[in-house]
Chain A
Amino acid sequence: MSDLKENLKAQIIEQLNLEDLTPADIQDDAPLFGDQGLGLDSIDALEFIVLLDSNYGIKIADPSEGKEIFHSVNTLADYISKHQ
């Protein structure tokens, strides 16, 4: 699980071009969206959908499902481990 989380952080940084950040800057339970945490928005949610599809083969058809799944690195890792 902790490997998965570290990989996820690296993939988020690459997918979203957050080149100034390192995996250590992203807390496992910090919100990824909104004004706290990473400040990501709805366009970035699409990047997460691409990320899950291309790296984990998980398809999300309805972007509104993403809200809970993409809340934090913890929720993302949870979802991936349950759906892979």
Chain B
Amino acid sequence: MRIYVTGYGVISSVGENSEENLLALRSEKTGIKQGKKTYTERFKVGEIHWSNDELVQRFNLTQHASRTAILGMIAAKEAFNGHLLDPEIKTGLISGTSVGGMDVSEIAYKDFLSGESDDLNVYKNHPSGTTSEQIAKELGIDGYVNTISTACSSAANSIMLGARMLLSGQLDRAVVGGTDGLSQFTIAGFRSLMIFDEEWCRPFDETRKGINLGEGAGFLVLETEETIKKTGKKPLAILAGWGNASDAYHQTASSPEGYGATLAMKSALSVAGLKPDDIDYINAHGTATPNNDLSESHGIKTVFGSSIPPFSSTKSYTGHTLAASGGIEAVFAILALNKGLLLPNLNFKQAIEETGLVPVKSYSEGNDIKHILSNSFGFGGNNSTIILSKV
């Protein structure tokens, strides 16, 4: 049974919807800039410049919520636009997030300590699960709602779980993806791990030092063949394969030889029934941390041998949007499939000495692209791969 994508939506620092994101990708314009908010102004971040209130107004949202929930609502609404709720079609929502409502909790906590406010209701926005409930409510989905928090592979794992729920007949349609707002917590966290670059991030470059953080959300609508017969929706892409694997190496780091990445890519290829040669473009995880890019490069070399397809990391456009990245990059993959795009890996100059891999350096369209592999790797060796194919 095939799983089809019948809707997609994205918001990131390069655009508020998929059309704007596509324009920015085309013009090789990064969304990473000096931050504008009190907790981002010292850093280069992929920030969406509107405040929470402004976003609620601009997108006619019905709920005031945390940044993570708001961004999720915006992308999920775009994806679900034109889809109708129908009691005959069991519809679920699975959303990935790593910080949940952290941004509002941080503000409320300061106000609470200074005695400015003792409103504890704000913390109702904090749990990751609440952000998913709020997104589901905005779409009117009241059935199955689930939240996945496996760090940076969260959205990819949500997409994977959605596909499996569809295959097992537990859902007919699933809205899947991920969302994360910028917060002081994640900035401080990555700085303390010393994998946070104060300059522009350089994925797959020998001189890479770490990530630029970003924020955003990306969602897909998945339907089975049977559901499409009822909804009459046009398939925009096929979700052909998925895989998740750990590499039994370290509690937080990936193995230098990329064993987990290799396993995830191989298992996605096997679910899709494809050979490595069939893949036309890889949207890499490529966070620009020394550990990830080395490990992923080795994984790619192991899986694809001497004929490595064009690959790049779009984190140099959006920053690393953590739990949202797999959703945002799935949307980028669908845009690339349908327009034959190869997306450039901005800021790349010098190949990693140990692997010598050179990513896509400039934008092109009209390429013959049938299958795209997209990687999302989380802390703890939680490695996920999805494969999207042209209808």
The reply to whether A and B meet directly (CB within 8 Å) is yes
Residues in chain A within 8 A of chain B (CB atoms): 41-43, 46, 49, 62-64
Q: Which residues of B contact A43 (CB under 8 A)?
A: 250-253
Interface residues on B, range: under 10
Considering the chains assembled together, what is the distance between the CA atoms of A42 and B253 in angstroms? 8
Q: Which residues of A contact B251 (CB under 8 A)?
A: 43
Q: Which residues of A contact B391 (CB under 8 A)?
A: none
Considering the chains assembled together, what is the distance between the CA atoms of A41 and B255 in angstroms? 12
Q: Which residues of B contact A63 (CB under 8 A)?
A: 194
By the criterion CB–CB under 8 Å, are B253 and A46 in contact? no
By the criterion CB–CB under 8 Å, are B192 and A46 in contact? yes
By secondary structure, the B interface counts as: loop
- Which residue in chain A gives the minimum CB-CB distance to B250? A41
By secondary structure, the A interface counts as: helix
- Which residue in chain A gives the minimum CB-CB distance to B210? A63
What is the 8 Å Cβ interface bit string for chain B, positions 182-195, against chain A (1 contact, 0 not)? 00000000001110
By the criterion CB–CB under 8 Å, are B194 and A41 in contact? no
By the criterion CB–CB under 8 Å, are A46 and B250 in contact? no
Considering the chains assembled together, what is the distance between the CA atoms of A28 and B176 in angstroms? 54
Q: Which residues of A contact B290 (CB under 8 A)?
A: 64
Considering the chains assembled together, what is the distance between the CA atoms of A41 and B291 in angstroms? 13
By the criterion CB–CB under 8 Å, are B253 and A41 in contact? yes
By the criterion CB–CB under 8 Å, are B194 and A49 in contact? yes
Jot down 15 A-B pairs with beta carbons below 8 A, ordered by A.
A41-B250, A41-B253, A42-B253, A42-B291, A43-B250, A43-B251, A43-B252, A43-B253, A46-B192, A46-B193, A46-B194, A49-B194, A62-B194, A63-B194, A64-B290
Chain B nearest CB, measured from A35 CB (Å) = 13
Considering the chains assembled together, what is the distance between the CA atoms of A46 and B252 in angstroms? 13
* A-facing residues in B195-231 (Cβ within 8 Å): none
Chain A nearest CB, measured from B343 CB (Å) = 30
Considering the chains assembled together, what is the distance between the CA atoms of A57 and B97 in angstroms? 37
What is the 8 Å Cβ interface bit string for chain B, positions 249-260, against chain A (1 contact, 0 not)? 011110000000
- Which residue in chain B gives the minimum CB-CB distance to A60? B194
Considering the chains assembled together, what is the distance between the CA atoms of A6 and B180 in angstroms? 46
Q: Which 6 A-B pairs have the closest CB atoms?
A: A63-B194, A43-B252, A42-B253, A41-B250, A46-B194, A46-B193
Chain A nearest CB, measured from B112 CB (Å) = 28
Q: Which residues of B contact A49 (CB under 8 A)?
A: 194
What is the 8 Å Cβ interface bit string for chain B, positions 238-253, against chain A (1 contact, 0 not)? 0000000000001111
